[in-house]
Chains A and B, each alone.
With several copies, the nearest count.
Chain A
Amino acid sequence: MPTLDFRTAIRDALDEELARDERVVLFGEDVASVQGGVFAATPGLQERHGSERVFDTPISELAITGAAYGAAVNGLRPVIEIMFGDFLFLAMDSLVNQSAKFFYLSGGRGSVPLVVRSAVGAGGRFGAIHSQSPIGWFHNVPGIKVAAPSSPSEAKALLKAAIRDDNPVLFLEHKRLYGVKEEVDGDVPDVPLGRARVAREGADVTLVSVMKGVGDCLQAAEALAADGISAEVLDLRTLRPMDTDAILASLAKTHRLAVVEEGPANGGWGGEVLAVAAEHGLHDVDDVWRLATPEHPIPYSPPLEDAFLPGVEAIVASVRSRLGAASH
């Protein structure tokens, strides 16, 4: 079967939407370069769609994001790249105080069809300032959608959905996924924003994650199956809005839920999942917990970073012990 890799999935989604809709434009730092940006996700797009619609910018995150907002309010559908999620702070004022507010303040008369692509996540030895996951910083902001794909086909479908969405969408690309390949036959089916996906059916425990974490959970589920534990894996796909129905449905089935989050537990999105479970599914809960990262910046040294991240072994061990404990 033909295979699709994550990078190509991103590039194809952009290429197809640029071709489909005149109003779509793409800009950011070095996105129009031969390499197609630092992560080589956009090569050839300027050649195919012209330098009016695909172009490089100065190193000016605030101007890039503010310009995208202003363009979106006036009829374009910009896709911008903020190279690393760690740089989003420099762009955040425009995203939160302009883009996220516009639909409401305009009395619903206007909207901001804008996509912010950003590479996130640790595991690549990029250190404390090039490995963070920005979900927590945007999770509490009404008016912004946050998409976090877990595979090439998911990435292609969600990016197209994000570009066609009339709201500002933060689209997160996990660096460790860029190299991932997937067998895909034919076109990938459309995926709506805000809908979770059961990546694997299970009965004993639900593992909730996004991006790279989903693959880790699937591997963990495989290992757990070996000792007779049936784990369901829920890929949230979108953090905001969050598919609480899917979370509660799975919880009602398994009564045990663990969130696997690449980021500090305190104030992370996993806390929202547990809060939803406790607030709306308490009678279904036998056990809920979080696997997250320690409460300090992300280390560079390989052994430190590896121990820092919640990997497959950690997930397996945690589920084993909690289910052991829970069954007392």
Chain B
Amino acid sequence: MSASATTGAQAGAQTQDGLDLYRRMRLIRRFEDTIQSLFQKGEVHGTTHLYSGQEAVAVGVSSALGDEDRVAGTYRGHGHALALGVDPQGLLDEMLGRATGVCGGRAGSMNVIDLEHRLMGCYGIIGGSIAAATGASLALRRTGGVAVAYFGDGTTNQGYFHECLNFAKVMSLPVLYVCENNLYGEFTPWEDVTAGRIEARPETFGIPAVTIDGNDVWVVRDAAREAVGRARAGEGPQFIQAMTYRFVGHSRSDPGAYRKPGELEAWRERDPLKVARERLVGALGAGDADVDAIDAEVDEQLERMVQAGLAAPYPQPGPVPEFA
């Protein structure tokens, strides 16, 4: 096969790979839109924290992980789960409280667990994901795996953050800490409650830290590949601060009154889906039609999922064992 054919093949593979990343992000976005509308319809209950706008982080990081790795997500975890390959129908059914949900309807939006798909859990307590991943890495270091913790900017002020990063560093554990800095903790700008630069905190412990554009999936993947590689190679914990922004309220009850004027609009210009589409039809030589096709397929997929989900049975109350 001629060199040019090879590069052509490589280009094709790269394009295909880029389209796959785009599809995953698009799936998350439409999933969240769907959850929001189902919430308004009274089919999703309690509260939800949507990942819309942050898709490139989880999709980029997950694309750098192997089968031996494990992930701890947060209450804002639909994207963390879908990026790992958790069955979208199972996740939707969980939100709908159905027996067919990935946790049988027991967990709901904030507490999803899917061990089969490397998701050790989503944690409703701020900092819980950090502890979970730190501990996981104690086990994974025996098998060459790396643990990943997602958490937000506001979580860096919690005791879990400090204790676990120090613990992981002194034990040189294979764990990657991914701070999704979306500028706010609930309604509070991160600078108002956070002393100094977030990335300086891991650096102080001697943990390598990078701050990256969290809305460009390729940038995220490259950073994650490097960090995961170093962790796997025995270089100890790694830290990524991904700068991003959530397009929706903190939770369903939040109108977002605190946003600075023009802020949301500016970030929409940097929508990770927009960024990816431009790269795809630009440098990666895909056609707009290829991307449109994905959009249509994902929309269809979600329509089918909603129908199936709303038709799925609710779990039957009944005695449940307290202990394993």
Contacts and interface: CB of A to CB of B under 8 A. Distances in A.
Nearest to B313: A303
Interface string A252-296: 000000000000000000000000000000000000000000111
A202 interface: no
Interface stretch (A1-9, A85-93, A212-220, A227-235): A85-93
Interface stretch (B55-63, B182-190, B296-304): B182-190
B140 interface: yes
A303 B314 contact: yes
B22 to A, nearest CB: 31
B209 interface: no
A136 interface: no
A70 B147 contact: yes
A47 to B, nearest CB: 14
B138 A108 contact: no
A304 B46 contact: no
Given A69-B135, A127-B110, A129-B111, A74 B70 contact: yes
Nearest to B324: A111
Given A67-B135, A70-B134, A127-B111, A59 B147 contact: no
A249 interface: no
Given A69-B135, A98-B123, A108 B105 contact: no
Nearest to B140: A74
Contacts of B110: 126-127, 129-130
A241 B254 CA distance: 38
Contact of A70 (B131, B159, B253): B131
B163 interface: yes
A97 interface: yes
Nearest to A306: B317
A304 B106 CA distance: 8
A58 B157 contact: yes
A72 interface: yes
A230 B254 CA distance: 45
B132 interface: yes
Nearest to B257: A34
Contacts of A149: none
A36 B194 CA distance: 21
Interface string B116-127: 100011011110
Given A105-B106, A166-B324, A303 B187 contact: no
B67 interface: no
B166 A98 contact: no
A241 to B, nearest CB: 7
Output the residue of B72, B105, B107, B253 with the most chain A CB within 10 A.
B107
Given A294-B320, A300-B46, A69 B132 contact: yes
Given A66-B128, A73-B136, A301-B315, A90 B159 contact: yes
Contacts of B140: 74
A74 B137 CA distance: 9
Nearest to B115: A110
Interface string B232-275: 00000000000000000001011101100000000000000000
A50 interface: no
A110 B111 CA distance: 14
B194 A58 contact: yes
Contacts of A241: 322-323
A126 B47 contact: yes
Nearest to B139: A74
Output the residue of B111, B116, B317 with the most chain A CB within 10 A.
B111
Contacts of B126: 59
Given A29-B186, A33-B186, 9 more contacts: A59-B154, A67-B164, A70-B120, A73-B121, A105-B103, A107-B106, A130-B46, A166-B323, A300-B106
Interface of B: 45-47, 70, 72, 97-98, 101, 103-111, 113, 115-116, 120-121, 123-126, 128, 130-140, 147, 154-155, 157-160, 163-164, 166-167, 170-171, 185-188, 192-194, 251, 253-255, 257-258, 314-317, 319-324
Interface of A: 25, 29-30, 33-35, 38, 55-76, 78, 86-87, 90, 93-94, 97-98, 101-111, 124-130, 142-143, 145, 166-167, 241, 294-297, 299-304, 306-308
24 contacts: A29-B185, A56-B188, A59-B155, A66-B130, A67-B134, A69-B132, A70-B132, A70-B134, A73-B115, A90-B158, A94-B128, A97-B128, A101-B111, A104-B320, A105-B107, A107-B104, A109-B116, A125-B46, A129-B123, A301-B97, A301-B101, A303-B315, A304-B105, A304-B317
